[in-house]
Amino acid sequence: RYEPLLSEKSSETVSTEDGPLPDDLTRDSLTLPDVSEPELARHYTRLSQTNYGVESGPFPLGSCTMKYNPSFTEDLAASPDAAVHPDQPTETTQGTLELLYRLQDYLGRIGGMDAVSLQPPAGAAGEFAGILVAKAYHEHNGEDRSEVLIPESAHGTNFASAAMAGYDVVSLAGDDDGRVDLDALEAAVGEETAALMLTNPNTLGLFERDIEAIAEIVHDAGGLLYYDGANLNALLGRARPGDMGFDVMHYNVHKTFATPHGGGGPGAGPIGVTDELAPFLPAPRVAESGGGYEYVDPDRSMGKVHGFYGNWPVLLKAYAYIARLGDAGLADASAKAVLNANYLAEQIDYEIPFGPFHHEFVASAGEQDAADVAKRMLDYGVHPPTTKWPEIVPEALMTEPTEAESRRTLDQLAAAFDAVAGESDETLASAPESTAARRIDQVRAAREPRLSWQSLDE
């Protein structure tokens, strides 16, 4: 089932001479694949057949929330009315602005935040924007704080985003129960503390029960509390970051609001803030004005994190999802996500050291290599969990079935887990055997990088 590269099918070199430009302004020629539409259709159809999506089967990737992506939101995003140029005057794009305004409003209500910016084009961009908001706030207050505190078990993006914003990162060890260690926090916090970034429930699926105490400690030191929205799917309608004391947060719309992951993107990472931080949000935001909508630049905006207004089609899909589900649907989505995680955990043999967890749990592969367990699970026709992270659980199998799975599918997943749990290291090491590609030599791929078809000839 090997599908040749486009370049291996047919390639053509076209001269750019005799065109409308003088030769010294043009390239000499262009060489690219040259295939007909029927060949193109087969090429990508076949490629798709070796790719696994949410509609292919269960996809219990912890922290990634691979929930079902409703088809109707794609239709709406493809609507000609949604195809607007960003420089069109706002009086002619009232529909677009109204939708963005409504989404700002809905997200604010869902997160318990006073003001929302939709500009960040992904979760990490939301972190970067949110931290820059915090930085602008501190600077406006004449404070030059240099550190961002981040629990050891947090998403890697937290660390990278804080660093990109120019902060020193202080990593916080957790307590024995897998949560923030208040003593360690007290010890780390201080006048250099710009913010603490926290996911809640955390990456073990545990709710940070001491969140109010945490907020108090950080706030007392003059720091801000940043909420990483990656796990918001656990809490919809049950708890809101704003009510817990968070000052800034980002939403991962492809995790919480069912926009498709697209093989890695696009996402969108709106941020929400308290009133106090609203003047520092990215420019512009949508405001209501005399029955219509307009863009306004926040007074002390931190600037921009996207050349235009962010990932509009993704935001549109997220709005449609929220408008479809409403209060009852959103709360039910979280309830079923948590029920599914707990039910699945109940069925599998691997040990789960921490709990009570919510929408995801982290099992330990014990003596087995978690990465090998994942490869072997592919042979059972299911997607494996996230592996080897967070490191607090040895050989972690970070599992999040989402609300979309039926009991029947959860039972199948459990059967796959348990079958692999009983297999030998040799079997695991040689897995997968039933996939389009067998185990791939990643070490060599990195040692001898070949990143284009041009490099294959070398």
Least CB distance from residue 117 to other proteins, whole Å? 13
* Contact mark string toward a second copy, 408..427, x via CB under 8 A: x-------------------
Q: Single out the segment in contact with a second copy by CB under 8 A; choices: 46-54, 287-295, 306-314, 345-353.
A: 46-54
Segment interacting with other proteins, rule: CB under 8 A, options 181-189, 220-228, 362-370, 441-449: 441-449
Where b means 16+ CB within 10 Å and e means fewer, 319-345 reads bbbbeebeeeebebbbbbbbbbbbbbb
Q: Which does 85 bind (CB under 5 to 8 A by kind): a second copy, other proteins, none?
A: other proteins
- Residue 394 interacts with other proteins (CB under 8 A): yes or no: no
CA atoms within a 13 Å half-sphere pointing along the CA-CB vector of 184: 15
Q: Quick check: 349 binds other proteins (CB under 8 A)? A: no
Show the CA angle centred on residue 319, arms to residues 316 and 323, nearest 5°. 140
Q: Which of 184, 287, 325, 421 binds other proteins (CB under 8 A)?
A: 325
Name the packing angle between helices 370-379 and 407-421 (round to 10°): 120
Residue 88 vs 289, nearer CB to other proteins: 88
Min dist. Cβ of residue 40 to a second copy (A): 10
Residues 328-387 that bind a second copy (CB under 8 A): 381
Per CB under 8 A, does 298 bind other proteins? no
Give the three-state DSSP class for 63: coil
List of residues 6+ apart from 172 with CB closer than 8 A: 149, 150, 151, 152, 180, 181, 184, 185, 188
55 touches a second copy (CB under 8 A): yes
Stretch that binds a second copy, among 171-179, 189-197, 302-310, 405-413 (CB under 8 A): 405-413
Between CA 76 and CA 110 the distance in angstroms is 22
Question: Binders of other proteins among 135-154, rule CB under 8 A?
Answer: none
Contact 214, 221 (CB under 8 A): no
Angle (deg, nearest 10), helices 94-111 and 312-347: 30
Residue 284 contacts a second copy per CB under 8 A: no
Contact track, a second copy, 3-22, x by CB under 8 A = ------xx------------
Which residues are within 8 A (CB) of 155 and not within 5 positions of it... i.e. 6 or more apart?
Answer: 63, 199, 203, 228, 230
List the structure tokens of 450.
């070949």
Please choose which of a second copy, other proteins, none residue 74 contacts, taking the beta carbon within 5 to 8 angstroms, the exact cut-off set by kind.
Answer: other proteins
Name which of other proteins, a second copy, none residue 141 binds, using a CB cut-off of 5 to 8 Å depending on partner kind. none
Candidates 11, 68, 74, 114: give the one binding a second copy (CB under 8 A): 68
Among residues 11, 16, 34, 57, which is the contact residue for a second copy, using CB under 8 A?
57
CB of 344 to other proteins, least distance (A): 10
183 is an interface residue for a second copy by CB under 8 A = no
* Centroid of chain to Cα 143: 31
Amino acid at 427: T
Give the closest residue to 331 by CA, choosing from 259, 225, 211, 240.
240
Which residues in the 71-130 window bind a second copy by CB under 8 A? 71
Q: Which amino acid is at 160?
A: A
* Binding of residue 213 to a second copy (CB under 8 A): no
Q: Two tokens at 181?
A: 């260690």
- Which residues are near a second copy by CB under 8 A? 1, 9-10, 36-39, 41-42, 45-46, 49, 54-57, 68, 70-71, 381, 404-406, 408
